[in-house]
């Protein structure tokens, strides 16, 4: 039994929004979140930990947009979180 | 979880799975054989894998490397100012690769590959110019990250396949979450095919879950290191590891161009390593500008594999500044180095010196789990295919799905017989054709793969593809120990009695695979 098409996203734009939010936004947030740790923890240790945790966090963030009804809301959220992390990093 | 999300994640799992399936199948299949890299190389070259007890630098010879280099210099090879790489080849010989000399006046200064072999009376050694034999272990190793697709692009492709594999694992777990336990005990071997595939897919996927998760993660780690790099730009300075070993300073003795008569560089350096690292065994040495005062050296090896999980040791030393430029000291491993060490050991199924049989037992478990993963991938594609083979589906869509299924199976399943063929051919190539080995093996493997995949594609019958690839692979696989026995005299019983376990295990592996495949073919029943 394939997934019931009645529940699947029909708009291609919505699909595009969710996939890009997951891949690009997810990567950006994952990277920035790890970068924030650079401020307080041993730098090499953070870098080395990131070699695997980056992908775990990214996978989770790749999954998250598909819980949203509207993919663009998710984009907005991801942008907001990225900005927040950037401000933590550089302010 | 509500219906909406369930269906969405089901869809995500299906789509990611289908997109990466063929690439992932190739990775796991080639990777399964890469687990036996050392054994394949020993098998092809008729060598003994020996962990000799270290009595000297490499545990190979009683002559120190500086003496060998001096001898080389006196026999007409230019050594001074040269960059070179030396590694242990087998129990009695060293492989040396000399890079082209920067000094244009140097005699015999071109790039050279040498084999330095200890003679029987143990006090002398012979030097032979060679061309490194291209072996299948290398072909499979490179294939398991698609290096043949033009190097780095293939490497990144493998990395992204790994990453999306991780994603597919997570979505798969979400989709199966509710029925994970109850479905685990479901076994319906006499139901219709699609049910068997679904059961196999979920149960074997469940059994292989930790294994697959580990490979998805370490695969992404190794191939997508590039994505971590931006973090480095946010680093103001890098911190070097604490030095934990003492190096004998030989700078004084090391500035004279007439080095060939007096100077010892490598030997004392390795000696000082040995006092700091107990039971240190050198695996390879890389020297830049030998004999020059700006020389530097990198030594890689292992320490006391029996007692510890961290055993890989590496040190880089700069003679000009008398400083250790980088070090991975297994006895005092920093967190940063240990992450890589753990990931590497898990990925390569190397858990230290656990004894010959435990070692091979682990490798075979890894091998079986890899093949199980291949099976999970194939059943996934088959489920996808049959689930869409409905009467009410659009004709065009059905055609397309069918084509995808046929092509995917043709590419994936032909890999098995072509692997068996490549090993047989590799053994049949005569010594005189060593230089052409790479060409021949690549043509046989990739050309044969393409041709057979095309053949099964045009045949358009998945049952036929499955049956005949299994049969061909099984029969050719059974030929492997035979060909090896006839050509090299290394019959299974003989390698076992000679304690040449590397070759023994590889032959037995193929005997097992071959027997099982042929057995499976006779148990096949056609069903729609």
Contact B9 A66 (CB under 8 A): yes
CA angle B516, B517, B522 (to 5 degrees): 100
Contact A52 B221 (CB under 8 A): yes
Dump pLDDT digits (tens) for A12-57.
888 898 999 999 999 999 998 988 888 788 777 888 888 899 999 9
Give yes or no for residue A85 having a pLDDT over 80. yes
Tokens encoding B218: 């370490």
Which candidate from B4, B167, B228 shows the least CB-CB separation from A7? Answer: B4
Q: Check residue A21 and report its DSSP letter.
A: I
Report chain A residues whose CB lies below 8 A from the CB of B235.
38, 43, 47
| Alpha-carbon gap, residue B334 to A43, rounded angstroms | 13
Q: Any residues with CB less than 8 A from the CB of B307 and at least 6 apart, and which?
A: B352
Give how far Cα B327 sits from Cα of A41, B78, B113, B216, B320, Å. 22, 30, 28, 28, 17
Report chain B residues whose CB lies below 8 A from the CB of A44.
238-239, 334, 336
Q: Residue B357's closest CA among B501, B491, B222, B235?
A: B501
Question: Are the beta carbons of B200 and B378 closer than 8 angstroms?
Answer: no
Q: Does B390 touch chain A (CB under 8 A)?
A: no
Q: Does A1 touch chain B (CB under 8 A)?
A: yes
Dump pLDDT digits (tens) for B181-232.
887 887 777 778 788 888 888 889 899 999 999 999 999 998 888 888 888 7
Q: Check residue B95 and report its DSSP letter.
A: E
The minimum CA-CA distance between A61 and chain B, rounded to whole Å, is: 10
Angle between helices B501-523 and B356-387 (to 10 degrees): 30
Which residue is associated with the tokens 């499979």? B140
Report chain B residues whose CB lies below 8 A from the CB of A57.
none
Q: Check residue A22 and report its DSSP letter.
A: I
Q: What is the ipTM of this complex?
A: 0.93
Largest CA distance in chain A: 52
Question: Residue B142, exposed/middle/buried by CB under 10 A (0-12, 13-18, 19+)?
Answer: middle
Contact B7 A42 (CB under 8 A): no
Domains of chain B, by residue range, sit at 65-122+242-333
Strand pairing report for B112-118 and B125-129: antiparallel
| Alpha-carbon gap, residue B22 to B18, rounded angstroms | 8
The model's pTM: 0.84
Low-confidence ranges of chain B (pLDDT < 50): 52-56, 238-241, 250-256, 260-261, 528
Give how far Cα B248 sits from Cα of B57, B83, B239, B268, B313, Å. 16, 22, 24, 7, 18
Question: Are the beta carbons of B284 and B277 closer than 8 angstroms?
Answer: no
Chosen for mutation from A43, A60, A65, A89 (greatest number of chain B CBs closer than 10 Å) is: A43
> What pLDDT sits at residue A79?
93
Q: Does A36 touch chain B (CB under 8 A)?
A: no
């Amino acid at each position: 039994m394939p997934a019931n098409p009645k529940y699947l996203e029909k708009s291609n734009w919505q699909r595009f929004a969710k996939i890009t939010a997951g891949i690009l936004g997810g990567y950006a947030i994952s990277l920035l979140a790890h970068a924030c740790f650079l401020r307080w923890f041993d730098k090499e240790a953070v870098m080395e930990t990131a070699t695997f945790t980056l992908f775990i966090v990214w996978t989770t963030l790749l999954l998250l947009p598909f819980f949203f009804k509207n993919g663009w809301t998710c984009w907005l959220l991801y942008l907001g979180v990225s900005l927040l992390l950037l401000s933590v990093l550089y302010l | 979880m509500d219906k909406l999300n369930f269906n969405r994640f089901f869809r995500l799992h299906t789509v990611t799975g289908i997109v990466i399936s063929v690439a992932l199948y190739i990775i796991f299949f080639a990777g399964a054989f890469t687990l036996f890299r050392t054994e394949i190389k020993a098998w092809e070259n008729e060598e003994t894998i020996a962990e000799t007890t270290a009595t000297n630098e490499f545990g190979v010879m009683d002559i120190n490397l500086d003496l060998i280099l001096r001898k080389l210099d006196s026999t007409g090879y230019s050594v001074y100012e040269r960059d070179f790489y030396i590694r242990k080849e087998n129990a009695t010989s060293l492989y040396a690769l000399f890079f082209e000399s920067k000094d244009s006046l140097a005699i015999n200064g071109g790039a050279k590959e040498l084999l330095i072999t200890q003679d029987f009376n143990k006090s002398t050694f012979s030097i032979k110019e060679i061309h490194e034999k291209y072996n299948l272990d290398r072909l499979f190793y490179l294939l398991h990250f698609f290096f043949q697709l033009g190097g780095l692009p293939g490497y990144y492709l493998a990395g992204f396949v790994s990453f999306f594999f991780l994603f597919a694992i997570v979505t798969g777990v979400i989709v199966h979450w509710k029925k994970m336990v109850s479905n685990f005990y479901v076994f319906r071997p006499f139901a219709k095919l699609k049910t068997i595939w679904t059961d196999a897919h979920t149960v074997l996927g469940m059994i292989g879950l930790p294994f697959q998760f580990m490979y998805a993660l370490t695969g992404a780690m190794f191939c997508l290191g590039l994505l971590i790099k931006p973090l480095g730009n946010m680093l103001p300075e890098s911190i070097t590891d604490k030095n934990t070993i003492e190096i004998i300073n030989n700078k004084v003795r090391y500035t004279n161009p007439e080095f060939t008569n007096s100077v010892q560089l490598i030997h004392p350096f390795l000696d000082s390593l040995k006092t700091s690292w107990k039971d240190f065994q050198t695996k390879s040495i890389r020297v830049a500008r030998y004999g020059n005062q700006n020389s530097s050296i990198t030594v890689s090896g292992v320490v006391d594999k029996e007692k510890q999980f961290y055993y890989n040791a590496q040190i880089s030393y700069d003679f000009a500044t008398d400083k250790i430029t980088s070090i991975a000291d297994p006895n005092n491993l920093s967190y940063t180095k240990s992450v890589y060490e753990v990931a590497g050991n898990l990925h390569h199924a190397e858990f230290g010196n656990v004894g010959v049989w435990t070692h091979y037992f682990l490798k075979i478990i890894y091998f079986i789990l890899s093949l199980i993963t291949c099976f999970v991938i194939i059943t996934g594609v088959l489920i996808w295919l049959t689930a869409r083979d409905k009467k009410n589906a659009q004709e065009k869509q059905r055609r397309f799905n069918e084509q995808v299924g046929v092509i995917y199976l043709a590419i994936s399943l032909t890999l098995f017989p072509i692997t068996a063929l490549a090993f047989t051919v590799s053994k049949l190539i005569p010594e005189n054709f060593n230089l052409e080995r790479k060409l021949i093996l690549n043509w046989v493997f990739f050309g044969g793969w393409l041709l057979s995949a095309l053949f099964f594609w045009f045949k358009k019958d998945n049952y036929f593809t499955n049956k005949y690839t299994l049969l061909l692979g099984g029969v050719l696989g059974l030929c492997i120990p035979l060909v090896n026995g006839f050509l090299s005299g290394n019959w299974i019983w003989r390698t076992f009695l000679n304690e040449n376990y590397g070759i023994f295990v590889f032959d037995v592996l193929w005997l097992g695979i071959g027997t099982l495949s042929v057995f499976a073919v006779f148990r096949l029943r056609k069903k729609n």
